[in-house]
Structure 1
Amino acid sequence: MDRVKIGVSACYLYPDPARAAFGKKTLNYVEQSVPHWLMSGGALPVMIPPTSGETARGDVGLDDYAAWLDGLLLHGGVDVAPGSYGEQALDPRWQGDPVRDAYEMALVKAFVAQGKPVFGICRGLQLINVAFGGTLVQDIPTQRPQALVHRDADRYDLNFHQLELVPNTRLSTLLANRSSQKINSVHHQCVKDLAPGFVVEAVCPHDATIEAIRHTGADWVAAVQWHPEFHGPAHGTLDDTPVLDDFLAAARATRATHSPTR
C-alpha cells in the first residue's frame, strides 16, 4: 500500500544542566499517542526536525519536507508565546516558546504554499490562529474567571465537557449523529480574536470557548482544541474518527497534483 505520509511538528526540550546525559543538548520529540492516532487511519507519520539552530547542517529546508509529505499535523505542548501575536506575557509562567512558534509557523507557510492540508490539535489550533493573524487568551482562569475549568492538573486528560457544533459547518456534517459529544479539555489558553478567513465550527456550550476552527478559502486548514488522540468511543467520548478520515482524505487528494515532486 502506498500510504499517505503526514508530517508531525516536533516538540522542543531545551538543555538543562540538571540532566547529566543531555545537559547541553536540545531534544526534539513527539508524544507517542499522536503518531499512533495517525497510524490508526493507515498514515505514515514523519516527525519534521527543525532545519535551523546551532547544530543545523546542509541545505535541507522545511520546503523540502512540504514538497515530499502529503500533509502536516501540529500537536499539543507548551504555550504559544504572547510575543508571537503582539502581546506581553501577563505572567512569567506564560512566556511560551517563541522558537517553536517560529518553526511551526514556517511549517504552516511551507505546507500551505504547496497546497497541502494542515491540521492542528490543542496548541496546534492556537498556533494556526496566531499564524493567520489571530490572538489568544493567555490564561482562561485569569482573563475569563466565569469560564469552565478547561485544564485540571490532577485529572489531566480525564477532564471532560460537552461540545456544541456550529450548524452548517463541515465539522457538523462530519460529526452528525455521533452518540456522544463529550470531549477532553487540557488547555488554559484559547482563541481570543479569530484569525481573518476562519470560521468557528464548535464551541464549549458552557462558556462559548472556541473548540474548532477552519479556513474558509481554498487552503485546507482546520484544527480542534481537544485531543482526539487521547480517547475513543470506548471511553464514552466523541467518536471523532471522521475528523481524522477527512484530514487524511484531503492529504491523499493532493497526491495526484503533486506526483512530480514525490
Structure 2
Amino acid sequence: MTRPVVAITADTALLTYTIWKDVPIAALPLAYIEKVVAAGGVPLLTLPEPGAVAEVVERADALLLTGGQDIEPVRYGAEPHPRTLPPFPARDEAELAALAVAERRGIPVLGICRGLQLISTVRGGTLHQHLPEHSPAVPGQYDARRIRIAPDSRLGAAVGTSATVHCHHHQGIDRLGAGLIATAWSADGVVEAAEDPTARFVVGVQAHAEMGEDTDPLFAAFVEAARAGARERAGV
C-alpha cells in the first residue's frame, strides 16, 4: 500500500530571500519533515487556519502537532504570567480543530513540545507558565537532557527507559489532562512525556523529538501506527 500521510502543523513567518523582503510564508523546521520521511511517512503541511486544517486531518492517516508559541493561558483558565510569550490565537484554534478531528477518527497523534501541552490542556490540564530552570541557556539553541522513561509505556516500548533529548522550552505540564498518564520525567521531576493508554497512539513529548537520534524509534512507531490504521480503514 502507499505510505501513510502525516498532517504536520505549520506556523507562519516573514521571510526575506533573494530580491524579496518580509514575505508571509507557512513555516516549519525541516527536521520534522525529515523525521517523518525517514520513518516511512508522507508529510503534509497544514496552515494555522481552522477550517482548512480540519479538512486535511479528515483525510490524513496521522497528525503531528509541532512546537511553537506559548498556548494562550485563557484556554486553560489562567491569567498570563509576565514571562508568557504573546499567543497566536489562530494557531491555537486551528490545532485544537485538528486534534478534535484526529481524536474523533482515532488516528495516531504525536505532540512535540507545544503539541504535548495542547493535548493536555484540551483535556482540562494546566501548565507551569514559566520554568526558569528549564529555559534554554542560550535562546535559539537546544539543551541536551537525559530523561527517565516508564518502561511499560508506548514511548518506553519505542525508545527504552532513558533517552537524550533536545529541549527548548520554558513551560511544562502542571496538571495532566483527563485520560493522560505521565510516561517520562526530567531529573527534577518535570513531566517530559504523556500518553493516552486507551488510544491507538496519542503520545506527547516535551522535548523537541525532531532533533537528535534517540527519538528516531518514536517516529517509526508513530508512522507504523498510522500505516496499521490506514490498512484497517482500507480493509486490507
Following TM superposition, by how much is the alpha carbon of 1:119 offset from its aligned partner in structure 2, in angstroms? 0.4
Asked whether the 8 Å contact 2:151–2:160 carries over to 1, the reply is no
Following TM superposition, by how much is the alpha carbon of 1:61 offset from its aligned partner in structure 2, in angstroms? 4.0
Unaligned runs of 5+ in 2: none
Pairing 1:103-252 to 2, within 5 Å after superposition: 103-141=94-132, 148-154=133-139, 156-157=141-142, 159-176=143-160, 181-205=163-187, 207-232=188-213, 239-252=214-227
Structure with bigger gyration radius: 1
- Give the partner amino acid of 2:167: S
- Normalised TM-score (structure 1): 0.80
Asked whether the 8 Å contact 1:190–1:210 carries over to 2, the reply is yes
Aligned residue for 2:29, secondary structure, equals coil
Identical aligned pairs, as a percentage? Answer: 28
Following TM superposition, by how much is the alpha carbon of 1:78 offset from its aligned partner in structure 2, in angstroms? 1.1
Aligned residue for 2:87, secondary structure, equals coil
Following TM superposition, by how much is the alpha carbon of 1:150 offset from its aligned partner in structure 2, in angstroms? 4.0
Following TM superposition, by how much is the alpha carbon of 1:190 offset from its aligned partner in structure 2, in angstroms? 0.3
Asked whether the 8 Å contact 1:62–1:110 carries over to 2, the reply is no
Unaligned runs of 5+ in 1: 53-59, 142-147, 233-238
Residue 47 of structure 2 is aligned to residue 34 of structure 1: no
Distance 1:191 1:3 in 2: 33
Pairing 1:53-92 to 2, within 5 Å after superposition: 61-91=52-82
Distance 2:54 2:62 in 1: 12
Following TM superposition, by how much is the alpha carbon of 1:171 offset from its aligned partner in structure 2, in angstroms? 2.0
Distance 2:80 2:139 in 1: 25
The answer to which structure has the higher strand fraction is 2
Distance 1:117 1:137 in 2: 26
Asked whether the 8 Å contact 2:193–2:206 carries over to 1, the reply is yes
Query: Would the alpha carbon gap of residues 164 and 14 (structure 1) be closer, same or farther in structure 2, given more than 3 Å must change?
Result: same
Distance 1:197 1:154 in 2: 34
Q: Which residue matches 2:89?
A: 98
Query: Would the alpha carbon gap of residues 168 and 160 (structure 1) be closer, same or farther in structure 2, given more than 3 Å must change?
Result: same
Q: CA RMSD in A?
A: 2.4
Asked whether the 8 Å contact 2:113–2:205 carries over to 1, the reply is yes
Distance 1:176 1:64 in 2: 35
Asked whether the 8 Å contact 2:53–2:94 carries over to 1, the reply is no
Asked whether the 8 Å contact 1:163–1:183 carries over to 2, the reply is yes
Following TM superposition, by how much is the alpha carbon of 1:155 offset from its aligned partner in structure 2, in angstroms? 7.2
Asked whether the 8 Å contact 1:84–1:98 carries over to 2, the reply is no
Asked whether the 8 Å contact 1:163–1:181 carries over to 2, the reply is yes
Query: Would the alpha carbon gap of residues 82 and 154 (structure 1) be closer, same or farther in structure 2, given more than 3 Å must change?
Result: closer
Following TM superposition, by how much is the alpha carbon of 1:219 offset from its aligned partner in structure 2, in angstroms? 5.0
Following TM superposition, by how much is the alpha carbon of 1:43 offset from its aligned partner in structure 2, in angstroms? 1.1
Following TM superposition, by how much is the alpha carbon of 1:253 offset from its aligned partner in structure 2, in angstroms? 1.4
Query: Would the alpha carbon gap of residues 219 and 26 (structure 1) be closer, same or farther in structure 2, given more than 3 Å must change?
Result: farther
Distance 1:51 1:89 in 2: 24
